[in-house]
Amino acid sequence: MAPKRVVQLSLKTPTHAVCVVGVEAHVDIHSDVPKGANSFRVSGSSEVDVFMVYNRTRVTEPIGKARWPLDTDADMVVSVGTASKELKDFKVRVSYFGEQEDQALGRSVLYLTGVAISLEVDTGRTGKVKRSQGDKKTWRWGPEGYGAILLVNCDRDNHRSAEPDLTHSWLMSLADLQDMSPMLLSCNGPDKLFDSHKLVLNVPFSDSKRVRVFRARGGNSLSDYKQVLGPQCLSYEVERQPGEQEIKFYVEGLTFPDADFLGLVSLSVSLVDPGTLPEVILFTDTVGFRMAPWIMTPNTQPPEELYVCSVMDTHGSNEKFLEDMSYLTLKANCKLTICPQVENRNDRWIQDEMEFGYIEAPHKSFPVVFDSPRNRGLKDFPYKRILGPDFGYVTREIPLPGPSSLDSFGNLDVSPPVTVGGMEYPLGRILIGSSFPKSGGRQMARAVRNFLKAQQVQAPVELYSDWLSVGHVDEFLTFVPTSDQKGFRMLLASPSACLKLFQEKKEEGYGEAAQFDGLKHQAKRSINEMLADRHLQRDNLHAQKCIDWNRNVLKRELGLAESDIVDIPQLFFLKNFYAEAFFPDMVNMVVLGKYLGIPKPYGPIINGRCCLEEKVQSLLEPLGLHCIFIDDYLSYHELQGEIHCGTNVRRKPFPFKWWNMVP
């Protein structure tokens, strides 16, 4: 927008003014008036629009050659519809008249130079910059919304650099331009006008650490792109060449939304007249951007790549587990990436180390890995091996005393898209575990929670996971895709379902069938023994109460019905007041489309089949899912983790565009 300008007329000398196309200028017709004048008439060039602003209840608009009375509060406003070819080539004349005279008592002449100035970005979210007549400064959510979008330039396009592109104040690669949003400055008018006036690009101080702007000079060399705005650089006097009517810039996002940053930034261009002291700003055009949020992908999104670690234990390597993962990815038509021991330093918990997501603008999208603050053996893997061309990286550091188990990303999940009481969550809702409803206890670090909440598009839900020894939400819940109208089911670990199953098997005469049958390193427990174990019964009553509390929260916050939930048989036991899985935790599975890699539970063998596997298959295979049970006992379960903990999946982004939602 432009400040209100008032142009003063003079009877003695012509007045000169610059008029920006489409911007109104008020003309003072009352300050210098001939003696005896009581009316006036206005005429002007065809390129100039002249109109009067007045109170219709007090003033009657003149008809034909009649004149406007001077003794009213009518104001004159002028605007131009096109840029001038020469200085002062548009003209407005005001003639003043007395009571009885047809001859003008005096005339004021206003010479105008029209100039077209605008800053254009992709406000329409089409992937291309188009001239906009609407509001470019405001950002609106929804399918009818508008406003430009910036990507945080957090990938590394240049292999010679070890750091993300956003850490450099200079362009490292021409490919880097694709990660930025184009911005065009239109500046059409006589060259002589720009010799005596300045075009100044500005960024507010509060936004200067959030963005950089590069000036494009039209070549194919890195030196043709120069940073002109950004940290420590708040303004830039535009260098315009004679005849140049369009100047291209690229805008780079530097920071994700967070607790101290709503995600909105603005840039402006001003036409400045330096011929006065102080300098006069004749016109300012402002554009707004929103930083694209980091978005998680749920199990219902198709898998693209499975990550798993090669490790060595006292009993040997996990080579058989890796073979099982290879078979699973082959069935799911998914890429397999094995992190070697030299890179993971025998840290197998790759789900705890990182979470895959993505960022998206209308012109570009790429995956971004969120590195957890746990910082164990895998701490360098996301930064050194995943960060690369069109693969971004983000992390959040936390203060001393450092991370707890709940800061690992096995404690971070996201639901499929849901609708809750008429409120749509087309990208699902993030789920994090905490000590709630307990007072005190372990929580995910505030820095991570604040970051997740600030993204706005996947409103987080806090669950109660501090009842578990490790304390992760993936120990008692997961989601699987289905081909029916609902599109998914939520799976919950269920001690009551397991005890009910064992009771049924006992009543059928299989009470001596044993848990852990087939395991060499674990003592067998018969169904009769487990059902008679008061401590085990008590521990699982407690576990079921904790899961039921979460069940009610999930039903309320995700809008789920009981029919949307599948109870997966599972037992726990308490150790130092915290729960651990009694046998391999089947909900801690890896989901690759319709193929499920499920921890082999080693349940009681009845009629040649594991009754736990048989029960899970009966629950899930009618939904179109394929259950593949995988032995993870020694390499994962005995270390208080399972298959989901030891794998990580990069998935396809949502087809839904985040800017079309209304948070």
CATH code for the domain of 275: 2.60.40.1700
Mean pLDDT over 486-513 rounds to: 98
pLDDT score of 478 more than 60? yes
Residues 201 and 70 in one domain: no
**132 pLDDT more than 90:** no
Residue 646 pLDDT exceeds 80: yes
Q: Kindly indicate the confidence band of residue 588, based on its pLDDT and cuts at 50, 70 and 90.
A: very high
Q: Is 320 helix (H, G, I), strand (E, B) or coil?
A: helix
* CB-CB contact of 289 with 265 (8 Å): yes
Examine the domain organization and report whether 286 and 349 are in the same domain: no
Confidence of residue 520 (pLDDT cuts 50, 70, 90): confident
Is residue 410 in some structural domain?
yes
* Virtual torsion, Cα 332, 334, 338, 344, nearest 10 deg: -100
My answer on whether 413 and 559 are in the same domain is yes
Q: How far apart are CA 78 and CA 22, in angstroms?
A: 10
pLDDT for 70 equals 87
| The predicted structure's pLDDT at residue 323 | 98
- 1 found inside a domain: no
Distances (CA, A) of 546 to 233, 493, 586, 652: 54, 11, 18, 33
> Domain check: are 178 and 274 in the same one?
yes
| Per-residue model confidence (pLDDT) at position 411 | 98
Residue 639 lies inside a defined structural domain of this protein: yes
* Span 357-370, pLDDT tens digits: 999 999 999 999 99
- Is 336 a member of any domain? yes
Which residues have C-beta within 8 Å of that of residue 67, sequence separation ≥ 6?
A: 39, 40, 41, 97
Q: What percent of the chain has pLDDT over 90?
A: 89
Sole residue written with tokens 């330039």: 153
Do 468 and 522 lie in one domain? The reply is yes
Q: How far is CA 262 from CA 121, 293, 454, 461, 579, in A?
A: 20, 11, 7, 20, 39
174 pLDDT more than 60: yes
Active site residues: 352, 472, 474, 645
Residues 281, 318, single domain; the answer is no
Q: Is residue 206 part of a domain?
A: yes
Tokens for 45? 């060039």
Residue 396 resides in a domain? yes
The mean pLDDT value for 205-215 works out to: 97
What local confidence, expressed as pLDDT, does residue 225 receive? 95
pLDDT (mean) for 147-153:
98
Q: What DSSP string runs through 372-387?
A: -TT-STTTTHIIIII-
145 and 109 in a common domain: no
Among the three residues 263, 291, 319, which one is the final residue of a domain in this structure?
A: 291
CATH of the domain at 77: 2.60.40.1860
On the question of pLDDT at 256 being above 80, the answer is yes
359 and 458, same domain (yes or no): yes
Last residue of a domain, one of 291, 319, 344: 291
Do 263 and 359 sit in the same domain of this protein?
A: no
614, part of any domain: yes
Of 117, 219, 124, 233, residue with least CA distance to 181 = 124
Mean pLDDT of 224-239: 96
- Tell me how many domains the chain contains: 3
**244 contacts 160 by C-beta, under 8 angstroms:** no
Q: Look at residue 3 in the predicted model and tell me its pLDDT.
A: 57
- Given this model, what pLDDT does residue 573 score? 98
Coil, strand, or helix at residue 179? helix
Residue at 184: amino acid letter: L
Based on the domain organization, do 87 and 190 belong to the same domain? no
Say if residue 282 is in the same domain as residue 302: no
E strands in 222-327: 225-229, 235-237, 246-253, 264-273, 280-291, 295-296, 303-309, 312-313, 316-317
Same domain, 273 and 300: no
At residue 525, the pLDDT reads 97
How buried is 324 (Cβ within 10 angstroms: 0-12 exposed, 13-18 middle, 19+ buried)? buried
> pLDDT (tens digit, 9 = 90+) per residue, 26-71?
999 999 999 999 999 999 999 999 988 887 777 777 777 678 888 8
CA atoms of 187 and 183, how far apart (whole Å): 13
Residue-wise pLDDT for 438-459, tens only, equals: 888 999 999 999 999 999 999 9
Note the pTM of the prediction, 2 decimals.
0.94
3-state secondary structure of 615: helix
Query: Of 67, 94, 115, which one is at a domain's C-terminal end?
Result: 115
**Residue 33 belongs to domain spanning:** 6-115
Cβ-based neighbours of 561, under 8 Å, separated by 6 or more:
555
Please give the Cα distance from 223 to 214 (Å, whole number). Answer: 11
pLDDT at 65: 67
What is the domain-level CATH number for residue 356? 3.75.10.10
Coil/strand/helix, residue 201? strand
Helix (H, G, I), strand (E, B) or coil at 91: strand
Q: pLDDT at position 99, please? A: 83
> What integer pLDDT is reported at residue 596 of this predicted model?
98
pLDDT at 73: 78
Asked whether residue 352 is assigned to any structural domain, the reply reads yes
Least confident stretch, 271-275, 429-433, 568-572, 621-625: 271-275
The type of residue at 316 is G
**Bridge partner residues of 184 (DSSP):** 120, 248
